[in-house]
Amino acid sequence: MSTPLLELEDLHFSYGSREVLRGINMIIAEGKITAILGTSGCGKTTLLKLVGGQLRPDRGAVRFRGRVVHEMNDRQLYEMRREMGMMFQQGGLFSDMTVFDNVAFPIREHTRLPEILVRDLVLMKLQAVGLRGARDLFPAELSGGMNRRVCLARAIAMDPTVTIYDEPFAGLDPISLNAVAKLIRELNDAIGITSIVVTYDVSESLKVVDEIFLLSEGVVVSHGDPTTLSDSDDAYAHQFIHAEPDGPVPFEVPAPSLASDFRFPHFVR
């Protein structure tokens, strides 16, 4: 049996006394698009930081090509991260650099290629996301959708083995959202990479991903392909996929009774 590209085993993590992850188990399929879905605050971004080695788990392990990430030294971490492309939740473009230089940055940082080759590589990535004509613009001159596409081009600039998208659809209009989702699918298949999409956007995820892990309260509560989860009888999967207000995920945070919480309880009816 071949070693999985990326494996998460019994992963636990806390911020002080607040337990965020309580035993995550996942195997990310190579060459596929895997979505990690869950409500805001369920630990999705924390999970990505553990995958990238920015955080150390309290218990359990993340394995990349069979090697435990939190046991790697700085050189090994650097080599692993070179195989990973990242599209950040907040974009993260350098505001004082043009579109061209933002996409060229990782190539210049990690290689010693001559500028003529850097230019061709950057223009190829920009062409792939439809922004070759925007090469000389600055981030402040871009729309939200264009900004996300530049981030996508930068994420794949080094032809990574794994590309991670943290909330790639947040804040986009329907046209831009659909375009970015379509690009993620097309680039994954064209380049043959492994993609991880971390999001709470169900509708677009169902269109483009191969496999879904649903997170709630620090554990994986449901797992399967989009069709399986859409038709699932699992209460959490049904509530999340169909965006229902009532279900295992409560709308209200537990609190004392309304009357006991007010200084003048006779005002509460």
pLDDT in tens, 66-87: 899 999 999 999 889 888 888 8
Are β-strands 84-87 and 67-68 bridged in parallel, bridged antiparallel, or unpaired? unpaired
- pLDDT above 90 for 117: yes
Instruction: Provide mean pLDDT across the span 3-15.
Output: 90
pLDDT in tens, 230-264: 777 777 777 777 666 666 666 566 777 767 777 66
Name the phi and psi angles at 204, rounded to 5: -75, -35
Return the exposure string of 152-182: e unless at least 16 CB atoms fall within 10 Å of the residue's CB, then b.
bbbbbbbebbbbbbbbbbeebeeebbbbbbe
- pLDDT above 90 for 110: no
Domains of the chain listed by start with CATH number: 6-225 (3.40.50.300)
Residues in a beta bridge with 196:
34, 164
What pLDDT band is residue 189 in, cutting at 50, 70 and 90?
Answer: confident
